[in-house]
Each structure stands twice: as structure tokens, then as C-alpha cells.
Amino acid sequence: MDILFIEDDAIETMKFQRTLSKLNSKHKLIEARNGEEALEFLQSEKKLPDVILLDLNMPRMNGIEFLGKLKQHDKIKYLPTVVLTTSENRDDLLECYKIGIAGYIIKPLKYEDYEAKLKTVLEYWSINELVKA
């Protein structure tokens, strides 16, 4: 499974990479530091990811702005997008679901809990029938 991981925090990115390596997964990781960089990748001629994991709080283009632009493009609007954030703001949650996300996960503070949540998410999407572009 190809995963587009959109996250501006280098520590969070390292944590995600560490989790993937511990899972001994064969997933391919594509990284973007913000929504603009992610859209640029998605609109290029490169192979599209199977799933997107998205942080909300980012500079230049935040996660909600990214989702709005993603859903305007016929080629990429159906890519399953899971929000992975620290935001427990109910307005953020509702707005993301209104736009059409596939899931909303609050990043736990303990690394073991983070690892367990991500393992579950990746296992779930690995068994889904995904839109292949």
C-alpha cells in the first residue's frame, strides 16, 4: 500500500517512520510537509497513493484547506483520507467529516498507544478494496 503522509513536524514524521519499520510492513511512504506540497504531488504524473494520512495544523495550507481542494479534483477526490491530528476540536472533526474524510484519529501522547492506533488503521486499509488510479 502506498501512503501519502502529510505532516509538517519532523518529530511526528520520524515517529510515523519508526512505527512503520516496527510493523515490518511493505508499505511505501510518500511524505509531504504541507497541503501545498501534497497537492503538487497528487496533481503530478506520479503514481497516486492508496491512502492519505493528514495532519490538520500545518503552515501554508492547513489540513482542512487541503481537504477542500482535494475534493474539487475528479482524479483524486476519492482517495481515502484519514486525519491524524492532536486537535480535539469538535468543529474541526465535524468540518472534516462534512468535507468527506474516511476517518479522524487523535494522536495519543504515549508512543505505544500511537503505534497501536496506526497498526489498526494500516491493517484496516490494507484489507479494503482501494481505488487504484
Q: Is residue 130 part of a domain?
A: no
42 within some domain: yes
Domain span at residue 89 reads 2-124
Is 83 contained in some domain? yes
For residue 103, is it within any domain? yes
pTM (two decimals):
0.93
Please say whether the beta carbons of 84 and 114 come within 8 A: no
List pLDDT tens digits, range 104-131: 999 999 999 999 999 999 999 988 887 7
Q: Is 27 contained in some domain? A: yes
Assess if residue 132 is contained within a domain: no
In a domain, 129, yes or no: no
Q: In this structure, what CATH number is given to the domain that contains residue 22?
A: 3.40.50.2300
Domain count, the chain: 1
Asked, for residue 77, whether it belongs to a domain, the answer is yes
| pLDDT at 133 > cutoff 60 | no
Q: 3-state SS of the chain?
A: CEEEEECCCHHHHHHHHHHHHHCCCCCEEEEECCHHHHHHHHCCCCCCCCEEEECCCCCCCCHHHHHHHHCCCCCCCCCCEEEEECCCCHHHHHHHHHHCCCEEEECCCCHHHHHHHHHHHHHHHHHCCCCCC
In tens, the pLDDT along 77-110 reads 999 999 999 989 999 999 999 999 999 999 999 9
